[in-house]
Amino acid sequence: MDSATSRKLGCAKGKGGSMHMYNYNFYGGNGIVGAQVPLGAGIAFANQYKNNGSVAMALYGDGAANQGQLFESFNMAKLWNLPCIFVCENNRYGMGTAVHRASASVDYYTRGDYVPGIRVDGMDILAVREAVKFSKKYVLENGPINLEFVTYRYHGHSMSDPGTSYRTRDEVKEVRQSLDPITTFRDKLLQVDMVSKDDIKAIDAQAKQHVEEETAKALASTEPDFKQLANDIYITDKPLSFRSCNAFEKLPHEANI
């Protein structure tokens, strides 16, 4: 809820948004378009160096697919056969620009050239699972692979984007009705009798209740204190004042000022 409400309970304590989500084995987004891709290649290098059997997944959008650093990352990853799964989330619009207006080739899975690629139905939960399952085994034995998940976003790119100036409402409606990953997966489960309609209703109710509870919790949280604005710039075992990270904390030589 950071980017929406700027509250203390947010992933960045109210001082950031979706670009600042970090956790164990999750290295979040990045303020520079496409910059998370070389970071992912670096993590793959670390996994290879440690020989820990882990792989790295570096995700980027179709709008970032034309960034030069992606191709530098592809080159290094293949040169050293790093266990890295590059994933292009092609939702057909880079911010507000349709893919065919920004890319000479919209076959993003082929962009790796010497890095093999697979085009995957990103709206099919089972297809995504199988593609990732295959790719993990592949990169551990052969080096990098490039996946293109063809998907779609229903809403705007950001809070300032209504998402309707570069596409029609009918287009969004058609995708939601015919290709939505949740409803299509639900239908598959019903077809093979893995769940009943009552089970689906119970799951829906539980999910809605969870969202409402978490939203209420986020809204009840307070905004961060102003004195916290300059904190958490560095992670260090030294006091924050050692690196002048806390703009409101005086340095030793300022004690008498």
Residues contacting residue 13 through CB under 8 Å, at least 6 positions apart: 2, 224, 228, 232
Beta bridge partners of 121: 150
Report the C-alpha gap between 199 and 179 in whole angstroms.
22
**pLDDT tens-place string over residues 186-204:** 999 999 999 999 999 999 9
Q: Which CATH class is domain 32-192?
A: alpha beta
**pLDDT band per the 50, 70, 90 thresholds, residue 19:** confident
Report the C-alpha gap between 144 and 78 in whole angstroms.
6
Cβ burial, residue 178 (10 Å; 0-12/13-18/19+):
exposed
Walk across the sheet containing 84-90 and list its strands.
56-61, 84-90, 145-150, 117-121
> Would you list the domain boundaries of the chain?
32-192, 225-257
| CB distance 244 to 254 below 8 Å | no
- Token pair of 52 as six digits: 């820990």
Alpha helices in the chain (DSSP H): 2-5, 36-50, 68-79, 99-102, 125-142, 169-179, 181-191, 197-220
- Higher-pLDDT residue of 76 and 241 is 76
pTM for the structure as a whole = 0.85
What does the buried/exposed string (b/e) look like for 46-57 if buried means 16 or more CB atoms within 10 Å of the residue's CB?
ebbeeeeeebbb
Q: Which of 12-26, 131-145, 205-219 has the lowest mean pLDDT?
A: 12-26
Report the C-alpha gap between 51 and 176 in whole angstroms.
43
Q: Which phi and psi (to 5°) does residue 193 adopt?
A: 60, 35
- Higher-pLDDT residue of 224 and 127 is 127
Among 142, 112, 146, which residue's Cα sits nearest to residue 132? 146
Which range of 136-145, 154-163, 234-243 scores highest in mean pLDDT? It is 136-145
Cβ burial, residue 186 (10 Å; 0-12/13-18/19+):
middle
**pLDDT tens-place string over residues 52-85:** 999 999 999 999 999 999 999 999 999 999 999 9
Given this model, what pLDDT does residue 181 score? 97
| CB distance 69 to 34 below 8 Å | yes
Q: How far apart are the first and last CA of the chain?
A: 40
